[in-house]
Structure 1
Amino acid sequence: MELRQLQYFLTVAEELNFSRAAERLRITQPPLSLQIQNLEKELGFPLFYRNNRHVELTDAGKVFVEEVRKISDHLHRAVENAQRTHYGEIGNLTVGFVGAATYDILPAVLREFRSLYPDVQVHLLELSTPKQIEALRQEKIDVGVLRPPIHDDTLCTEIVSTVPCALAVPKQHPLVGKKNISLADLTPHDFVMLSRKTWAGLYDEILGLCNPIIRQEAFEFQTVIGLVAAGMGIAVVPQSAINLHTQDVVFLDMKDQLPVASMGVSWRKNERSPLVKTFISMAKELG
């Protein structure tokens, strides 16, 4: 039994006329009649009562046509869904992200992506950069929004945004109001540092710049800013963290003396999913 035979059968069942059915199918009537006869032989029962003037479904044909319509509808849906999956219009996308991405590039990318592809199910997992790398290796996430550099030969990484860092200090701190702050001016003061486990690159850069006195570490910039507000020390943070501003924190511009904070996207080198490619392209464009 072939799909073509079922299509021929449905067309004849709808027209109840072999000539009109053949015209719709763009074939001649004899091969259409032959295909219906072959189908009936394979089934072992007639599908139509027919004579020179009249064509009518048998009782068995009436049951068969309803089931074949279900098969046809299901097949059309399967083709449509497969095409939409191929073009990245439906499916599932699991995105890992560092917490800082939520006040950086991630909201804009998600808004645009969900607007253009409303039928794609986007699943979000907040993970540190090292955990995202491991999750990518284990195929637990499809793409990661994380902090470069990434040293893994199995992954591709693109930097999608860069922002300068600023110095976050408590509102009443001695550095507030001081002009031309240098790195040497930071040395006597306690630091609140984002943990190296969260962002090794920034941690090491700050150590190399000013050999800070580290009083406290935290895993998220939101916590870092909160500890600065509490007077626990000063901190080097991306300027995007100004979105976490509290009335007890002042952000100072040190005129290119502090590191530049990068945000990147990573994915597996062998990744073929059009959803991943679309998400990456959108992140690069918006970044």
Structure 2
Amino acid sequence: MELRQLQYFITVAEELNFSRAAERLRITQPPLSLQIQNLEKELGIVLFYRNNRHVELTDAGKLFFDDVRKMFDHLDRAVENAQRTHHGEIGKLTVGFVGSATYDILPSVLREFRSLYPDVQVHLLELSTPMQIETLLEEEIDVGVLRPPVHYEALRTEIVSIAPCVLAVPKQHPLLEKENLSLLDLTPYPFVMLSRKTWAGLYDEILGLCNPIIQQEALEFQTVIGLVAAGMGIAVVPQSAMNLHTQEVVYLDFNNQLPAASMGISWRRTDQSPLVKTFIEIAKEWDKNN
């Protein structure tokens, strides 16, 4: 049984006229009649009652017609879904992200991506940068929104934002009384540090800049700033965190004396997924507009 024979059968069943069916199929009537006869012979059933004036489906033909039409509907959907997946219009994208990306790049990029591709399932996993690198290499996520650098040949990373960090201090802290602050002014005061496990690059830069007294470490910037608000110490944080705890915390600009905070997008070099490509392109556009 050939797919072409089933297409011929569907057309004849819809027209109930061999001449009109042949015209629709752009073939002559004799080969159409022959194909239907061959199909009936192969199935071992009569599909049509026919004479010179009338063509009608048999009961077996009616049931076969319903089932074959459903089969073609499924086939059409399968072809459409395959084409849409190829063009990145449907499918699934798993995105890892650091917590601080939720008040930086992530909301805008996700809104744009979902508006363009509403039928794509986006799965989000909050992971530290080291965990994102690990899960990217193990193909558990498709793209990571993380803090560079990333030193793995199997991964590509694009920097999508760079901004100087600021100093978060509790309200009524002695540093707020000083003018023309320098890094030396920070030496007497305890720090709340983002754990090296979360962002090794920033941790090491801060140690190199001012050799801080570390009072407490935390895994997320939101926790770091919450501890600053509680008076546990001061902290170096990205500018994007400045909307957190604004009633209890003051953010000081150090005129580029503090490290710069970069955000990157990482993915596997071998990944040719159109969904990953689209997500990256949207992230790059976000960078240009911010």
Q: How does 1:102-141 map to 2 (within 5 A)?
A: 102-141=102-141
Corresponding position of 1:34: 34
Corresponding position of 1:189: 189
1:223 aligns with 2:231: no
TM-score (norm 2): 0.97
Percent identity (aligned):
82
| Distance across 1 between alignment mates of 2:121 and 2:213 | 45
Q: How does 1:138-149 map to 2 (within 5 A)?
A: 138-149=138-149
1:62 aligns with 2:59: no
TM-score (norm 1): 0.98
Cα deviation, residue 36, structure 1? 1.1
Q: Which runs of 5+ in 2 are unaligned?
A: none
Corresponding position of 1:233: 233
Range moving further from structure 2, 64-73 or 51-60: 51-60
Corresponding position of 2:87: 87
| Distance across 2 between alignment mates of 1:152 and 1:104 | 25
Corresponding position of 2:10: 10
Cα deviation, residue 248, structure 1? 1.4
Are the equivalent residues in 1 in contact too, given 2:229–2:245 (CA < 8 A)?
no
Corresponding position of 2:205: 205
SS of match in other structure, 1:164 = strand
Cα deviation, residue 244, structure 1? 1.1
Q: Which runs of 5+ in 1 are unaligned?
A: none
Are the equivalent residues in 1 in contact too, given 2:226–2:245 (CA < 8 A)?
no
1:54-89 alpha-carbon deviations (Å, 9 max, x no partner): 111112111110110110111011011111111111
| Distance across 2 between alignment mates of 1:5 and 1:204 | 71
| Distance across 1 between alignment mates of 2:203 and 2:166 | 14
| Distance across 2 between alignment mates of 1:265 and 1:38 | 59
Give me the CA root mean square deviation: 1.0
Q: Which amino acid is the alignment partner of residue 111 of structure 1?
A: R
Corresponding position of 2:282: 282
Range moving further from structure 2, 96-105 or 208-217: 208-217
| Distance across 2 between alignment mates of 1:269 and 1:50 | 62
| Distance across 2 between alignment mates of 1:145 and 1:24 | 54
| Distance across 1 between alignment mates of 2:248 and 2:47 | 83
Are the equivalent residues in 1 in contact too, given 2:198–2:220 (CA < 8 A)?
yes
Cα deviation, residue 231, structure 1? 1.3
Q: How does 1:256-275 map to 2 (within 5 A)?
A: 256-275=256-275
**Matched residue pairs, number?**
287
Cα deviation, residue 204, structure 1? 0.7
| Distance across 1 between alignment mates of 2:29 and 2:36 | 11
Q: Which amino acid is the alignment partner of residue 76 of structure 2?
A: H
Cα deviation, residue 245, structure 1? 3.0
Cα deviation, residue 210, structure 1? 1.1
| Distance across 2 between alignment mates of 1:151 and 1:244 | 31
| Distance across 2 between alignment mates of 1:260 and 1:5 | 68
| Distance across 1 between alignment mates of 2:29 and 2:156 | 58
Q: Which amino acid is the alignment partner of residue 51 of structure 1?
A: N
| Distance across 2 between alignment mates of 1:67 and 1:165 | 65
| Distance across 1 between alignment mates of 2:60 and 2:92 | 42
